[in-house]
Amino acid sequence: MLTIQNPILKGFYPDPSICRVGEDYYLVNSSFSYFPGVPLFHSRDLGHWEQVGNILDRPEQLPLEGGEISRGIFAPVIRWHKGTFYMITTNVDQGGTFVVTSKTPEGPWSDPFYLGEEAKGIDPSLFFDEDGTCYYVGTRPNSNGVHYNGDWEIWLQELDLEKMCLTGESRTIWKGAMQNAIWPEGPHLYKIGEYYYLLHAEGGTAEDHCICVARTRSLEEPFEGCPRNPVFTHRHLGLEYPVTCAGHGDLVDDGHGNWYIVMLACRRCKGCSSMGRETFLAKVQWENGWPVINPGIGKLEEKLELPMETVRFPREVSENLFFEFHGEQLPKELVSIYGRDNEMYSLSKRPGFLRLYAGKHHVGEKAVSTYVGVRQMSYTFTTSLGMEFIPKDSHSGAGFLLFQNHRNFLRAEIRMQNQNRILCVIETIDGQEKALKTTSIEKGLVEILFQVEEQLGKISIVQNEEVREVVGDIDLRPYSTEYAGGFVGCTMGMYASAYGRETKDYADVAWFAVRK
């Protein structure tokens, strides 16, 4: 018996989709405007996960620049059929819905096959019927006219895998389980026993989120809703419950008669969610031909016992991370905003260091900037950044960044001021910049510490084995979804910028670490 802890993927890993190939489970998440896109995870026990890659890891697969951080890639779905992996998703501002394929999960994955204007809406999924027919199922605005905000519908159409295009007529198959339902989305089709099941989310992806299900014996016949819809939600538990927004699920079985569901949910601290929507796991039991999620409990559990043997990996998804830079590629866990290229960083100019070039743009702009970070995974943690930065340009800055969106971020920045090096802690809230504290620093390597405990932050520096606090009691709630809006959680890491100017300045990073 295996005991696992929820969430199974901590931090900003929303809209999970899962498939099983033999004894291996593969899971993907939305990545919005981060590059590389669509992180791909592998497990053999549903509790321990390794990141095997990012499906969209080339610029030609992932045009992003210019949109809000919460735009970009919405709700990917991963499926496997006859030796090929398929991932379908929507780039909501640039290109629309597309499919990529690969023979192996590690890739390389193909360039996108765009499905064109026929694939309206978002949240596409693929279903392979027993006769080999592939169906596209998605969500779109009500085809009879939108009468209220969230008046959408779920629709179905065949997908020709050889030509990679929709074929035949599209059909509306479901408008939601509740009367005047809003945002019926995240649909998935399954054939289980004698029924086709449609699993979908409803109520929006915030506090009213839920999971509903419908079924039919034939895809040519109408679906009937489960009499217990919604079959899962946390909305009845109230806003003070520690886990909210549960919904957007995908079913998977273990091949031995046991069923599970992955879904998103939010953990809050002091009423705010800084980590966005995370991936949780629940058990599923079938009763009278309908799924029951966490039977006898009816809500997400912090710990689950699974009838599986533990399978571990050398490098698992963890809240404790340590990055040194001796390889030829950046680690899979590290992300940037919109994209990255060789003009942004180098792993070879100074062996053992990550060199970050101070680019013209900064993180307050909707353009590619020099930033490399990881997802925040806890409300109590410490980050450590070892950086050497001697700017020649007084306008350049480099250091540590906590990023929520282009209008809400916190940075601890090394600069030059009156021929002296300083570290300045600057908060940007709703686009308004404010310097919190400045302190002088010596030449050489500087360790920047960011210590967080339940939405309060402290920034310190370490030089010559001396720890010096720069500023404490930083309110981190403005970097949450509740304050900043959007669909993403915080990321944090290292950056460099010339703030609108051309420069040859660069910063060398010796390490970046996160420990709980």
Phi and psi angles of residue 19, each rounded to the nearest 5 degrees, phi first: -145, 155
Spatial separation of the C-alpha atoms in residues 184 and 173, rounded to whole Å: 11
For the chain, residues with pLDDT lower than 70 are none
- Burial code (b: 16+ CB inside 10 Å, e: under 16) for 283-321 equals bbeeeeebbbbbeeeebbbeebebebeeeeeeeebeeeb
Q: Return left, alpha or beta for 476; rule: phi > 0 is left, psi -120 to 50 is alpha, else beta.
A: alpha
Beta bridge partners of 457: 452, 474
Nearest to 76 by CA among 111, 5, 27: 27
Strands 34-35 and 37-43: unpaired
Enter the DSSP assignment of 109: P
User: pTM of the full predicted structure?
Assistant: 0.97
What's the token pair of residue 139?
Answer: 């969500």
Helix, coil or strand: residue 484? helix
Spatial separation of the C-alpha atoms in residues 293 and 21, rounded to whole Å: 23
List the catalytic residue out of 123, 151, 153, 185: 185
Helix, coil or strand: residue 61? helix
List the catalytic residue out of 15, 123, 153, 508: 15
CA atoms within 13 A on the CB side of 58: 9
CA atoms within 13 A on the CB side of 432: 4
Beta bridge partners of 306: 2
Enter the DSSP assignment of 76: E
| CA–centroid distance for 382 within its chain | 21
CB within 8 A of 18, min separation 6: which ones? 25, 26, 27, 78, 250, 252, 262
| CA–centroid distance for 219 within its chain | 32
Give the total residue count for the chain: 516
Q: Is 111 a catalytic residue?
A: no
Can you list the domains of the chain with their CATH numbers? 19-236 (2.115.10.20), 321-515 (2.60.120.200)
Enter the DSSP assignment of 236: G
Q: Return left, alpha or beta for 399; rule: phi > 0 is left, psi -120 to 50 is alpha, else beta.
A: left
CB within 8 A of 120, min separation 6: which ones? 138, 140, 141
Spatial separation of the C-alpha atoms in residues 339 and 268, rounded to whole Å: 30
Strands 466-475 and 491-497: unpaired
Which H or E run contains 483? helix 481-484
Query: Secondary structure of 245-301 in the HEC alphabet?
Result: EEEEEEEEECCCCCEEEEEEEEECECCECCCCCEEEEEEEEEECCEEEECCCCCCCC
Q: Is 316 a catalytic residue?
A: no
Q: What is the pLDDT of residue 341?
A: 86
Query: Do the Cβ atoms of 487 and 32 come closer than 8 Å?
Result: yes
Which H or E run contains 481? helix 481-484
Q: What is the pLDDT of residues 313-342, one digit of tens each?
A: 999 999 999 999 998 999 999 999 999 988
Spatial separation of the C-alpha atoms in residues 369 and 248, rounded to whole Å: 32
Beta bridge partners of 450: 383, 459
